[in-house]
Structure 1
Amino acid sequence: MKKTKGGLMSFNNFLSTSRNRQISFNNFARPAASNTNSVGILFIMNIDTAICTKSSTPFAEVSKVGYYKDKEEEILFSTHTIFRIDRIERIEDKNADRLWQVNLTLVGNQDDDFNKLTAHIREDVNSKAPKRGWSQLAFILLKLGEPAKSEKLYKILLPQATSDTDRADYNHKLGWAYDDMGEYSKALSSYERSL
């Protein structure tokens, strides 16, 4: 993460946040740092609600229904909300030695890097999965590191293919999914069928 300072990042799940720093620090970051196999990270987020509105970034204030009720002041963000990494610094703490604070700023459609990334992804998806619909979704899942979900879609699409070109494409992408899952014999079979 240190190498990507100034770059963009997203979380691949719904993101539960709190306006209460102590709850985030004491209940999540510090306990993570006590595990020798992990690092505790406290994300401090700068959120401009105007950016959320302009870029259609879905979020919900859920403090009335969260586990900690009003104490946490919880805000829930949708999957793949994009942030810029502003600053990364070590947190001195007598209870843990692997604690970091990462300052993030929410970005939206007005950000040049975000727009370049979006255009690149769109071009990549359109060039490698020109058919719209389920085929494109399966490819996006593959690119997002979700080969098992992608496999399910390609297995549905394959019997419905109406041309040899589509069958070859689906088999090739199915091979890619199996390769990503470490199922090399299935990958090889799919790649061979794509020829």
Structure 2
Amino acid sequence: MHSISGFIELLRVSHPLARVKLLSIVVITMVVFVALYVSQLKEYTAPDVAKLIIIEGRVSGHPNSWEHNRSLVHFSVAYKLDGKREGKPIYTYWELYEQSGLRINSKVLLTVERQEGGSVVRGLSTLYGRVLYDDRFNQQVIAWNNESINFKVFLMVLTSIGVAAVALATVVRYRRELFQGRIGN
């Protein structure tokens, strides 16, 4: 059973009680994933200009395509702030990243906002002044991320409702057998 068609076949040959249990497990699993996706939503907060500082950092992660928008790349940067090493994700366009010549351990200039319990990177530029990431772009990345998550949540909720409806239809169809205990566990 390594596919949806295999799962459907399993449902067809299962007793109604087992079918309802399997469908219930699917619905519960999907609801858990919906909750996990919703927890990934982010809210943009404008920077507090009084808390911004410019520090040197280094590229600490290889670039990867961003699953929400393949024209973007995400990678990590690391820096020390108040003696504590921090690492944060950065997003930029693939083309800009390639043109910049950045590699692991390349030095970069970061605009960082100090916050309670850490910091937020508000900008990244190369040592020769090319801006690859700024707060306006960060705001757009947050919006794209939230749009993608909301779309996935919508699809998963619709699918969960459909699966729950099939489970309910099975209960209604086989209610006598299910509630009289004629079907085995």
Shorter-chain TM-score tier? under 0.3
User: Which structure would you say has the larger Rg?
Assistant: 2
Greater RCO structure (CA 8 Å; 6+ sep): 2
The TM-score normalised by the length of structure 2 is 0.25
